[in-house]
Amino acid sequence: MGYELRVVRESPLAFAELARAIAPAGFELRGSDEIVIGHAGGRHPVARWAGQVVGEPDSDWQVAQLLRLSTALGARLVGEDGEVYKLRDGVIEVETGGGVVEVGKLEQIIDAGPAAWSP
């Protein structure tokens, strides 16, 4: 199991609400629990439904898509260690207890596609 990012809302999210909310943002449900989005003619997994939306990103593209997904759901994107992922002026930022780190420009990351991080 990789590092998890969770989509956290103030009010609980029902599965039916999830299905309705993600479609306008371009996301789809595949099967009963996988959330996917298209890129370059393919469908790529972004998160899964496990009573809440959880992702285990292996690329900046997946982090960017999770951030888009959390926005579509009116939620925050939070890491296992409590860091919060935000979008400010088109740039993805990660807020931790020690400060703010910029990940990169959202649109550039989305355009680059889902290539996995190198080990």
Regarding pTM above 0.75, the answer is: yes
| Token pair of 22 as six digits | 């993600």
Cα(62)–Cα(70) distance, integer angstroms: 12
- Tokens 């996917």, located at residue: 36
Angle, helices 60-72 vs 15-22, to 10°: value is: 110
Burial class (CB in 10 A: 0-12, 13-18, 19+), 2: exposed
| Token pair of 68 as six digits | 């888009």
Instruction: List, run by run, the mean pLDDT of 10-residue segments along the chain (119 residues).
Output: 84 85 92 91 92 92 95 94 95 93 93 77
Tell me: the pLDDT tens digits for 63-85? 999 999 999 999 999 999 999 99
